[in-house]
Amino acid sequence: MGKLLGRVFVCFTIMLISFNGYSSQIFIIWPWYGREVSVDLLKLIIPFNFLLAMLWWNYYLCIMTDPGRVPPQWEPDVSDKQDFEINRLGKPRYCRNCKRYKPPRAHHCKDCKTCVLRMDHHCPWVNNCLGLYNYGHFVRFLFYVDVTCSYHVFMITYRALSSTKNGFWVEPDPIELVFLIMNYVTCVPVLAAVGAFSLYHLHCLLGNSTTIEGWEKDKVAKLVRRGEIREIKFPYNLGMMKNVKAILGPNPLLWCWPTVPPGDGLSFEIVQDGEYTGQWPPEDPATRMDENHIFTLPKDPWTYGNGSFNPDLHSGSSNHGLRERRGSPTSRQRHSYPYTTEGGQTDGTYAVPPYHPDYDESQPSYGHFSQPPYADGDEDEDEDEDARYYEDRPQRRQFIRRGSEGYEVHAIDREEMMRRYVESQARLGEAGRYRPYVPERWESEEDEEVEQIPNGLSVQG
């Protein structure tokens, strides 16, 4: 996402916070108290403005704080397992874009064009990456959005309920009523959306994981369910209290106050259980690569990867191509499929593929013609060459149509589909609902009498 589009998101967020934060006080609360300063008014709006100020402060820190970058000359200490992570080849992770090593939990951001320490994700609402040094501000920002919006809804709801005091409806001013409705429309959806987002990041905070690591844990859990790898514990989950202190600071009294997180982002404490091998996420066995494998392109495009010749590739002569082009319009309208006889020789073409319901192995089809389009004898000079080619050519491999689960899908016509459907309905307790109609021959009573008389007697009569 471009920086210009990110600035549009930031401007929209600023306008939304400003509208909900100040229009409710100017056009709803202030007229309600008679446009005079009072103790009750201050008791109501001072806590709200404090929460709003903390929201602004943390949002500003999310935008302006650098998430953390990898030092230019940093190199991992291979003697310390906590100082680096390895890739699939067993070597320290290296960024080819930044031309430097990656510390643990660092990732390259294509929007910021740099490697970010303990990268969580690139957030368009703050137009910045969320990493080591501003993720704590982002968590506080979400917390203050939830608390401030809840207080805001309580405040305008208290104003709306005051209109029904003593059982009588006291209609507010038109402007006050319009802003009351608009504040509900803009604040309640924000509270619902940000509240759900806050729950997810609270889960990440308590587990000391990032959004990227959450995706990786889902992938690992899928591999464990399949039985491809053994279950492994997330190495950075140190316990709930230590996980929160690693983000919001060591002092719980200052968790709601903007502070600098501990650590330098180049190494992290891991679980001391003896199972961590320095690689997270664990390697997928299906993508395991050999360290000594070197990929090279084949020297000839007409060969397989191992260098053997591909017998299915054949460069026909120019006369053969001309014959196909001027033979029949069906050659341009549809594909043809080879028809192989019992002797292994190709004797014609089919107009439909082998898995088509109309495919018949006994009879080849030539479209609108009963014989090959170019069987008029005008191309006799190339028949011997083509015959030699097809005689030497091995029989084509029979393709099998398979479904998403890998099982073979057999060809089936409409009558077979109908029969299976009727049988399935009968098994479900609806026997007798579908009965095939078999027309009977209609015969009159006179015909029945005639049929009972022998032919000779019938003629005499």
The set of catalytic residues is: 123
Rounded to whole angstroms, the Cα distance separating 292 from 301 reads 25
Residues 310, 311, 315, 321, CA torsion sign: negative
Indicate if the alpha-carbon torsion angle 58, 63, 64, 67 is positive or negative. positive
Whether 113 and 106 have beta carbons less than 8 Å apart is answered as no
Residue 23 per-residue DSSP state = I
Dihedral, 57, 62, 63, 64 alpha carbons, nearest 10: 80
C-alpha distances in Å from residue 48, one per residue of 21, 52, 110, 253: 9, 6, 38, 21
For residue 13, the number of C-alpha atoms closer than 13 Å in the C-beta half-sphere is 21
Helix and strand numbers (H, E) in the chain are 14, 8
Q: Write down how long the chain is.
A: 461
* Torsion on CA atoms 331, 333, 335, 338, rounded to nearest 10: -40
DSSP assignment letter at 26: I
Nearest C-alpha neighbor of 363 from the set 398, 337, 339: 339
